[in-house]
Structure 1
Amino acid sequence: MSLTRDFSEISAITGVSGVSGVSRGSGFDAATLADVGGKAANLGELTRAGLPVPPGWVLTTDAYRQAADGLDLTPGDGLAERARRHLLQVAVPGPVREAIVKAYAGLGADVPVAVRSSATAEDLPFASFAGQQDTFLNVVGAEAVLDAVRRCWASLWTDRAVAYREAEGIGHAGVRLAVVVQVMVDARVAGVLFTADPVTGRRHQAVVDAAPGLGEAVVSGAVNPDRFVVLGGEVRERHAGDKRLSVRPLPGGGVEHVEHVERVESVGDAERGETGGLCLTDAQVLDLAALGARVEDHYGAPQDIEWAIDPDGTLWLTQARPITTLYPLPEPARPGLRVHLSLNVAQGVMGPFTPMGVSAFNLVSSGAASLFGHGPADPLDGPAFLAEAGQRLWIDLTTPVRSRMGRAVLTRLMPLGEARAAAVVRELVHDPRLSVVQTSRRPFLRGLRRFARRVHAPARVRDALLSPARALAHAARVGEALDRRLDLPADATPAQRLDHAERVLGGLFPAIVSVMPIVITGYALLGLAARLAGLRVGDLQDVLRAVPNNPTTEMDLELWDLATRIEPEPFREASAAELARRYLAGELPPRAQRGIAAFLDKYGHRGVAEIDLGVPRWSDDPTHILGVLANYLRIDAGSGLAPAALFAKGARAARAETDRAAALAAGKGRWRAPVVRFALGRTRAYAGLRELPKFYAVRTIAAVRHSLRAVGDHLVRTGVLDTADDVYFLRLEEARSALAGGDLRDLVRERRAAYERESRRRHVPRIMLSDGTEPEALAGPAPEGALTGTPASAGTVTGVARVVLDPTGAHLEPGEILVCPSTDPGWTPLFLTAGGLVMEMGGAMSHGAVVAREYGIPAVVGIPDATGRITTGQEITVDGAAGTVTARSGDEPR
C-alpha cells in the first residue's frame, strides 16, 4: 500500500444513506477514515466533487504506525508526555522519508505548503476535534516538511487532544494520525464560514468571519475579525472588527504576526469606498455563502469551512468539517416553520431515549391523542404532534401557537410546568411567520368536550367537590385496574408479550388521566381561595407543603423510616457500588437486607429517567437508592433536618397559612372564611395526587420492561442479539420482526454507540424551531449580579452549592444546596438532605418545584445554565420567593 495519496484519489463518502434522519455526511467510508483520517477524507471528497481545493496529498496512517512502533501506551499519568517524546525523537523510517520527499517534490520545487494533522478521530460528523492537533503553515523545503510531519505526529498526544478524546469516549489505543500536505494559498484575506449560525442554530444562515492575511488569525481567535451574516441571498448583517493583527507568510518559510497600530480598513484602496472599512465586499461574501451552500448540499449537513482569497481574487476552500455543536432537526420534517418543545426537558430527562423507550412513548402518546379524536392510523408511529431529534422527543406546538384559543391556553398553563418555555412562547407569538391562522374556538372546544366525556370529567369534579372519599377511592381503583391489566402468564410466548406491551401501553394514558380532573379541581379551588382572601396564588404556597396522598413523598418518608431502623454499618463506610454488590449477594446485615428488599418490592419500579422504558430501575440496579440511604444515615434523627420533622413542620405551616387566608377572607365578608377553609382543605386533599398518574405510568412501564426482557432472552437464544438488554435498543416493530430470525447485533452496537455519544451532549434546547433556531439564544445575557429564575418554593437559605448532573451515586451533605439541570422522581430522595434547590429547567408547577414546596426547602427553577454558572463549593443564597440566586460578595456566579 502506498504511504501517500493524492487528494484526487480519496473519496470519503460511501453514498447517500436511506435511513431516516441520517444525513449523507454521516456515511463516511470507514476504510478511508482509517487510512487518511477525517481532514484528508474531507479534502479528498471536496476535490473529487470539483470544489476549489488547493492541490495536495496525505501521508497515510501506516506511516504513523511505523513511526509509533514501540510506543508505550500504558494508561496512567505521563502517557501524553511519553508518547510526545517518543514521536519527536524517533527517526523517520526510511521508506516513509522517501515517500514524503518524493510527494513533496511532486508539488513543485520548494513550494510553500501547509502541514496539518488528519487523525482517524477528527472532522467527523459527531466530533470535530477542531484545533486539538497542530498545523504548521508556510513550510518550505523537504527537511522542513519532514520536521513538521514529526511534530504533527506528536500533536496527537497533546494534553488537550488526550482530554478531548476522553471526553468524547474515544479510546487512545485505536487512534492513528495521517498528515495532510497542501499547497499554501497566498491569502489576501481569509477566515471561517459557517453554513448555519453556530450560536442560534438557524440553518441556511451563513456566518462569515474574515480578516486580512492567513486564516490562522481568525481560527486561533487572535484577531477581532469582520463578521457578516447572510440569509436568503442577502447580506443581513455587517460588523467591522478592529483587525489589529494579521498573520503573514515569511520568505523562505514560517509566518509572522503583524500588529497594526490602527484598524485595517480594507484589503485594497480601490475597494475602500465599497466595503466601508470591511475586508470583504458584499459580492465576495455572497460568493462565499454560495460556495458554502454547495459544500453543505454535497454533505447533506451544515459545515464549518476554512477559506482563503488569493491576490487574483480566487476563492479557495482549505478545510471543511461538520458543525458538530448544532442540535439535530426534528424528524419527520413538516412544511412551514414549526415550533418544537423538548419533551425530555419538560420531563426532567436530559439524556436520550432508548429506541424501545421511543416506541413506548409513541404508544402512550397515541393513546393521549385518541382522547381528543386525533389518534394516528398506526399507534406505533406516534401522534402527528410528536417528533424525534437527537434521540429525544419533541412536541410540535405550532398548531396551538397559531391558534387564538391555543395561545390563550399555552400562556396560562405553561408557566405552571415550564416557566422558561412559557417566556419563549410569549415572544414567539409576535413572530409574523407564526401569525394566527385559526381564530375559531370550535375545534378546541370540540376536542375538550370529547376529552371530558372520555375521562368522565364531570363525575370526577362532582366527587372532588362533594366526596373526597369517593374521589380518592377512584384514584386508588385506577392503580388496581392497571395492575390487573399487567397480569401475563409466566409461559407467555415472545409474540404474546409484544402484543401485551402494545395493548397495555396504548391504553395507559386514558386510564391514568382520569385522575387529573380531581387534581385540577384542587388547584382551581386554590385559585378561588386566593381570590376570596385578596391574595395571589403564589402567596398561598405554604398550603401545598406536606400534602397527603403523594406517592413520591410517601416513598421518600418510607426510605427515611428505613434509615432509622437498619444497622448503620456498613452504610457509613462502604461506597454505594459496594453496598449494591453486598445487597445483591445477600450480604447486608439482616434488618437492612430485609428492609431494602421490602422497599424495592414496593418502589423498585422507579429510577432516574424512569419514563424511558429502556433504562434500568432501582430493582435492576439499587446503587443510587442505597447511596441515598447512606446519606440519610448522616442526618441526626433528632434534628430539625430529619425528613419526618420537616414534613410535620410543613403540615403546621400549611395549617397556619389556611388560618391566615381564612382570617383575611373573613374581613371581606363573613361567608368567605368557611368557603376558603373548604377550598383549601380540598386543595390539600388532592394536590398530592398530581404525582399519582406518573407513579402509575412508571409502574406500568417497568412491568412491560420486565416482560420485554424475556423477549430479549429469546432473541439471544436464537442468535439475533448478544444480550437480553439489547432488546431495548430495538423498536417494538423491530423486535416483532426479529422473532422470525436474523442478526441484529451490528445494528444494536451502532445504536448503543450513538446513544453513548448523545448521552454526553450537555446542551439540549428547551424550544427549537424547525429551521434549527433556538429562540432562547436570541435573548441577551442575564442581568448582572443575581441569577434570576422562577420562584418555586418560598424561603431563603444560604449554603454551599453542590452541582449534580446525575443523581446516581451523588453525595449531598445535609444543608447543601442542590444545583441540577432538572429533576424527575428519581432525584427526590436527594431533596431530603438538601438545604435548597436550584434547577435549570421547570416552572412553579414542575415536579421539582412541587416536591421542594412539600419539603419546605427554598427553590428557584428556570435559571439558564445554572450548572455551568454555579460551581460546587461556592456559597450561594437562594431566595425562593424572589426567584434569585446570589453568591457571596466577590464570588459572583458566572
Structure 2
Amino acid sequence: METRLDDRLIRDFTAIDARMLAEVGGKAANLGELTRAGLPVPLGFCVMTEAYRRVAESVGGVSGEPAKARELLLAAEMPGDVRDAVVAGYERLGVATPVAVRSSATAEDLPFASFAGQQDTFLNVVGAEAVLDAVRRCWASLWTDRAVAYRESNGIDHDVVRLAVVVQEMVQSAVAGVLFTANPVTGRRREAVVDASPGLGEAVVSGAVNPDHFVVDTESGEIRERGLGDKRVLIRSLPGGGTEQVEHTADGACLTDEQVRDLAALGARVEAHYGAPQDTEWALDADGTLWLTQARPITTLFPLPDGATAEDPRVFLCFSVAQGLQRPITPIGLAGFRLMASGLADLFGRPARDRLAGPAPYREAGQRLWVDATTLVRSKPGRAIVPRALDVMETRSSVVLRGLFDDPRFSLVHTSWRPFLRRFARVAARYRLPVHIVRAVADPASAHRRMAQIAATQRELLAVSDTATAVQRLDHCEDVLGERTVRVLPMIFPLAAAGFAMLGLAGKVLGKQWRPGDLQPVLRGLPHNVTTEMDLELWHVAVAIRADAESGAALRDRSARELAALFHEGALPEVAQRGLAGFLRDYGHRAVAEIDLGLPRWSDDPAHILGVLANYLRLDDPALAPDVQFARGAAEAEETVRRLARRVGRVRGRFVRFALGRARLLVGLREMPKYHLVVAFAHVREQVGLIGAELAAEGLLETVDDVYFLDFKEIREALGGKDFRAEVAARHEVYDREMRRRRVPRVLLSDGTEPEAVASQGGPTGPGALVGTPASAGTVTGRARVVLDPVGAHLEPGEILVAPSTDPGWTPLFLTAGGLVMEMGGANSHGAVVAREYGIPAVVGVAEAVDRITTGQLITVDGALGTVVPADQD
C-alpha cells in the first residue's frame, strides 16, 4: 500500500499550481503549473515552506546577519516528521533515483525579479541521506550574501521570505540549456532565443561555457541567427552522485535545426499557457526526449502599451524620456497628462471619446508616458517636424525615430501637407499666432508685457474659493488640466518661436559664412529665461548665507533633511530662513521631476534646494560663480553677434545683427510654456492634497499623500465612500518596483522590439573593438576593474567589472558596477540575466577579456552591439 504524504510538508507537482506561491515558492509553483498543463516536466515533489518554518523556529528564528543565519540552519536538527516526509517523497521516485534538489523561495521567479540562481541547486543527488543534506543546504542558501543583497536591491523584506525545496528526477541530458520565448536583448516578442551545450544545463546557466546560440522566429520556424560556441567545458553526472566538469572538444552544432524548432515550439506552448514571455531551462536526454526543468517570467522586458500586438505594427515614442524623465509617474500624474492630452486633441479638432482616458495616440506603459507615433512616422509632416523637435528635446530619440523611416512596415502613407496645414491654420487663426509673432519681432518689449498678462490670466484661471467643497475642488482640477491650461499654452509658444525664427533667418542670411556651432554662443547668457533667473536668485541667497556666519555654519554642519525640518519650524538662522522663504515664494512650485504633479514641490520639501545651497557654499573660486559665468556668457554672445555680422558686409550684417539681437531677447522665453504648466501642476497638487486630507480623515485612505496614487475618476468614487486603501498599497509596490527600473526604451515597437538595440547590433564595431555576445543593452564608458575572484574584491561605483565568468556569488558586485564584460557565458547565463535586471550594459563571451583589458583602463561597453572599445579608439 502506497504511503500517504503529509501535504502540509511535501506535495507532488501534480498537486501544485501557481496560486500556491506562499506554500511552495516560485520555482515549485511554476513546475506544478507546467505539470498540470501537460507539459513535459520530470517527476518530482516539493518540500514546502512549512518545513522551513518549523526548522527556522526550532533555532529561535533566523534573520539579520547572513553568515549566522546559515550556520544556524545547517546545524539545526531536522524535525522527525519533516525528515520522514522528505524520505517518503524521495522513495516514491525510487530508492536510488538520481535527483536535482533545487531551492524554491517565495521571492523567486516573480514577474518583476527572477532571482535566477540566487539560492543553491544540487545536481545528481543519490540516496535519501544525500537528499536530506541537500535540502538542509538549500534552506541555508536563502541567507547567502548574494541572495540577501539581491533581495535588498529589489526591496523585498527578509523577514517575510520563506524557502521551499524542489526534488525532481534528474534528466541525464545529452544536450541542455536555456530558452527565452522573447529576445531579452532586443525585446522582440515571438522571437525565441536558445543557448545550448552538451551535457548538463548548468554549464550554460552558470556561464562556464560559450554555448551554441540560436534565434528563431516562433511564427515561421525560421532560424534567423546561428552562432556556434566553442563549448569547451562539459558538466556531466558521476555514478553514485555528484557531477564533474571536463574539457570538451566541440564538433559543429549540438542541436539540429529540427531540434531548435522543436524547442521554439515548446517555448511557445509555455508562453501561451502563462500569457507572457518566459525564461525556461530544458534538457534533451539520450533518447531525444525533450524535457522542461524550469520556467519563470522574463523580468527584464519593458511592458508593452495596452493593446499593442505584433499583428498591428505600431511605433511608440517614450514622451517621458523625451522630457528627460526616467522615473515612473504617479497615478495622479498620469491622470493629469491624460486630461491635458485630451485638451490638446480638442485644440486640433480630434476630441477624445473619454477625456479622462486620453485621446487615441496617448499611451502608458511601465508607468511612463508614451505616444503612438505610427501616423507621424508614416506622414511627410510628421517626419519633417517631430524628429526636428526631438533634436532639441532628446537627440538620441530623434536618431532612433529616423532609423525607422526605411522600415517597410512604416512606409509613407500620408504624403500631403494639406490636412496638417489646415488644422494648424485653424489653431493659428484662433489664437492669432502670426500677429503675435510679428509683434514680438517688431517690439520684444511687447512680448514680455504679454507674458506678464498671460501670467495674470493664469492666476485668474487657477483661482478657487477657500470654501469650495471637495467635489468642487475636483471639478476645478479637471477643468484646469483639461481646459484652462491648454488655452494658455498657445498664447506662449509664438513668443519664443519668434526668437527661433529670427535665429534661423540669421543662419540663412549668413549662408556659407557660418559653420555648425557658430550660432550656439549667441544663445549663452540669455535674458528673460525664467530658469536662469531662478538659478541666479538661488545663488544670491547663497551669497547672503555665506556672508552670515550663523547661517553659513548651519548649512555646512547639518544635513539637508535636518535643515528642511528647521525651515518648516521657522527655526533656521534669520538670514537663511528669510532667503529660502523668499526663493520658495517665487519658485516653490517647482520640483525635481516636476512634470509629475504627484511629487512634492520644493515648498513641500526644500531638502534638495538646501543641499544645492550647501554645495554653493563650497564654491571658492570667484570666477566660477554662476552670476560671473552668466555675465561672461552674455558678453561672449554679444561679441559673437558682432563677429558674425562683420562676415557678411554692411547691409546683410545689419540684418544679422538685428535678427540675432531679437533672438537673444526672445529665445529665453522657451522655458515659459513648461513653467506655466508646472505652475498649474503645483496648484492641482495642492487642491488634490486638500481632498486627500478629507479622505484620510474619513479612513478611506491611510495617509493624505495616498490620494496621489488614485486618478480623478477614483478620487470621485472615494468621495462617494469607496475605500481605496488596498488598491493604493498595491500601487505603491508597483511604483517602487518601477523606480528600480534602470533602463527605459526611447522607442518601442508593438512586437516589443527596441529599435535602438536592433540598430546597434547591426552597426560597425570600429578599430580596436573586442567583440562578444550582446547580453544587456545600453552603453557605458568607465574605468575597467579586472576581477578574477569575487572574494574580497572592491569595485568603485561606476567601474566596469571585467571577469572570466560569473556565477551568482559575483552578483553583489553588480550593485555598484557600471557595466559587465565576461570572457565566458551566453546571453542567458546568470551574469547576463542579473545585469539586465540591474540595468547595466553587459557583453559576454569576449575572448581573452581579462588579458586584453587592464584595471584602470577607460573602456566603452555597448551591450546591444556586443563590443568593448578602448576609449581612445571609440
Matches within 5 A, 1:569-588: 569-588=553-572
The answer to whether 1:69 aligns with 2:57 is: yes
User: What is the Cα deviation at residue 453 of structure 1?
Assistant: 2.2
Q: Aligned partners of 1:198, 1:727: CA distance in 2, in Å?
A: 36
- Report 1:78-117 matches (<5 A): 79-117=65-103
Partner of 1:587, secondary structure, is coil
Q: Does 1:550 align with 2:529?
A: yes
Note if 1:250 corresponds to 2:238. Answer: yes
The residue number in structure 2 matching 1:8 is 14
Instruction: Determine helix, strand or coil for the equivalent of 2:337.
Output: helix
Alignment-mate amino acid for residue 750 of structure 1: A
Aligned partners of 1:180, 1:866: CA distance in 2, in Å? 30
For residue 520 of structure 1, what is the amino acid of its counterpart? A
> Which deviations, in whole Å up to 9, do the C-alpha atoms of 1:516-545 show, x marking residues without a partner?
122122112112212323214531111111
Deviations 1:82-102 (A, max 9, x none): 111111222222211111111
Contact 1:81 1:157 in 2 (8 A): yes
SS at match of 2:499: helix
Shift of 1:665: 2.0
CA shift, 1:43, in A, is 0.5
SS in 1 for 2:403: helix
Distance 2:839 2:729 in 1: 34
1:411 deviates by 3.8
2:524 equivalent to 1:540:
no
Q: What is the match of residue 225 of structure 2? A: 237
**1: CA distance, partners of 2:531 / 2:654:** 31
CA offsets per residue over residues 388-443 of structure 1, 9 Å max, x none?
A: 10011101111011112321223433322221111112211111111111122222
Q: 1:867 & 1:416 partners in 2: Cα distance?
A: 27
- Structure 2 unaligned residues grouped into runs of 5+: 1-6, 546-550, 770-781, 784-797, 800-817, 820-837, 843-854, 860-867
Q: 2:296 is paired with a residue of what secondary structure?
A: strand
Q: 1:611 aligns with which of 591, 595, 602?
A: 595
Per-residue CA shift, 1:548-570, capped at 9, x if unaligned? 11111111100110111123121
CA distance in 1, matches of 2:308, 2:201: 36
Report the equivalent of 2:479: 503
CA apart distance, 1:333: 2.8
Aligned-partner Cα distance in 2 for 1:786–1:375? 55
> What are the Cα deviations for residues 314-336 of structure 1, in whole angstroms up to 9, with x where unaligned?
11110000000000001243762
Cα distance change on mapping 1:782 and 1:90 into 2, 3 Å: farther
After superposition, the C-alpha distances for 1:653-677 in whole angstroms (9 at most, x for unaligned) are 11111111111122xxx21111011
Pair 528,571 (structure 1): closer, same or farther in 2 beyond 3 Å: same
When normalised by structure 2's length, the TM-score is: 0.85
- The answer on whether the counterparts of 2:342 and 2:355 sit within 8 Å (CA) in structure 1 is yes
- Tell me the distance in 1 between the aligned counterparts of 2:523 and 2:424: 28
What residue identity is the alignment partner of 2:611? G
Return the TM-score normalized by structure 1.
0.83
Counterpart position of 1:268 = none
User: For 1:438-478, what per-residue CA distance to the aligned partner results, in whole angstroms no more than 9, with x for missing partners?
Assistant: 12222221222123223321111111221112212222222
CA gap of 1:552–1:355, structure 2 versus 1, over 3 A, is same
Q: How many residues align?
A: 774
Deviations 1:317-356 (A, max 9, x none): 1000000000000124376211111111111111111111
| Alignment-mate amino acid for residue 561 of structure 2 | A
C-alpha deviation, 1:874, in angstroms:
9.4
Q: Structure 1 333/503 Cα, relative in aligned 2: closer, same or farther at 3 Å?
A: same
- Provide the rounded CA distance (Å) in 2 between the counterparts of 1:482 and 1:74: 59
**Aligned residue number for residue 700 of structure 2:** 720
Whether the 8 Å contact between 1:332 and 1:387 is mirrored in structure 2 is: no
1:447 and 2:423 aligned? yes
Checking the alignment, whether the CA contact within 8 Å between 1:71 and 1:83 is kept in structure 2 is: no
- Is 2:488 aligned against 1:514? no
Given the alignment of the two structures, is residue 363 of structure 1 paired with residue 339 of structure 2, yes or no?
yes
2:641 partner letter: T
Moved more, 233-242 or 315-324: 233-242
Q: Distance in 2 between matches of 1:677 and 1:866?
A: 49
- Partner of residue 343 from structure 1, selected from 296, 313, 319: 319
Task: Kindly indicate whether structure 1 or structure 2 has the higher relative contact order, using CA contacts under 8 Å at least 6 residues apart.
Answer: 2
Equivalents in 2 of 1:613, 1:36: separation in Å? Answer: 41
Match of 1:166 in 2: 152
1:300 to 264, 275, 279: 275
CA distance in 1, matches of 2:858, 2:839: 12
Q: 1:324 to 1:98 in 2, by over 3 A?
A: same
Q: Which amino acid aligns with 2:533?
A: E
Amino acid at match of 1:66: R
Q: Compared with structure 1, are the counterparts of its residues 259 and 5 closer, same or farther at alpha carbon in structure 2 (3 Å cutoff)? A: same
Distance 1:607 1:640, change over 3 A: same
**In the alignment, residue 629 of structure 2 is paired with which amino acid?**
L
Q: Does 1:599 align with 2:578?
A: no
- What CA distance in whole angstroms lies between the structure 2 residues aligned with 1:75 and 1:520? 61
Contact in 1 for aligned 2:283/2:290 (Cα 8 Å): yes
Which residue identity does 1:313 align to in structure 2? G
Residues 892, 118 of structure 1: CA spacing in aligned structure 2 closer, same or farther, 3 A cutoff? farther
**Residues 308 and 751, structure 2, Cα contact 8 Å, conserved in 1:** no
SS of alignment partner, residue 413 of structure 2:
coil
Query: What SS does structure 1 have at the residue aligned with 2:254?
Result: coil
- Structure 1 residue aligned with 2:757: 777
Q: Distance in 2 between matches of 1:282 and 1:327?
A: 30
Shift of 1:875: 12
The answer to which of 692-701 and 562-571 deviates more is 562-571
**Residues 120 and 138, structure 2, Cα contact 8 Å, conserved in 1:** yes
Aligned residue identity for 1:755: Y
The alignment status of 1:621 with 2:627, answered yes or no, reads no
Match of 1:49 among 34, 37, 45: 37
CA contact (8 A) 1:526 1:537 kept: no
Structure 1 equivalent of residue 169 of structure 2:
183
Name the CA distance, whole Å, in 1 between partners of 2:297 and 2:667: 49
**Of 575-584 and 139-148, the range deviating more from structure 2:** 575-584
Q: Which amino acid aligns with 2:738?
A: E
1:563 aligned to which of 534, 542, 549: 542
Q: Is contact 1:530-1:536 (8 Å) kept? A: no
**What does residue 822 of structure 1 align with?**
none
Q: Is the 8 A contact 1:373 1:450 kept in 2?
A: no
> Is the Cα–Cα contact under 8 Å of residues 309 and 316 in structure 1 kept in the other structure?
yes
1:665 match: 648
Match 1:319 to one of 288, 294, 303: 294
1:850 aligns with none
Residue aligning to 2:786:
none
Q: Which residue of 131, 135, 139 maps to 1:149?
A: 135
Q: Give the 3 Å change call, closer, same or farther, for CA 43–172 of structure 1 in structure 2.
A: same
Q: What does residue range 423-434 of structure 1 map to in structure 2 within 5 Å?
A: 423-434=399-410
Task: Give the residue type in structure 2 aligned to 1:607.
Answer: A
Tell me the equivalent position of 1:464. Answer: 440
Per-residue deviation, 1:73:
7.2
C-alpha displacement at 1:129, in angstroms? Answer: 0.2
Name 2:793's counterpart in structure 1.
Answer: none
Provide the residue aligned with 2:814 in structure 1: none
Change in 2 beyond 3 A, CA 1:248/1:94: same
**1:525 aligned partner, one-letter code:** M
Answer yes or no: is 1:123 the counterpart of 2:129: no
The aligned counterpart of 1:828 is none
Q: Partner of 2:236: helix, strand, or coil?
A: strand
Matched, 1:589 2:573: yes
Q: Which amino acid aligns with 2:679?
A: R
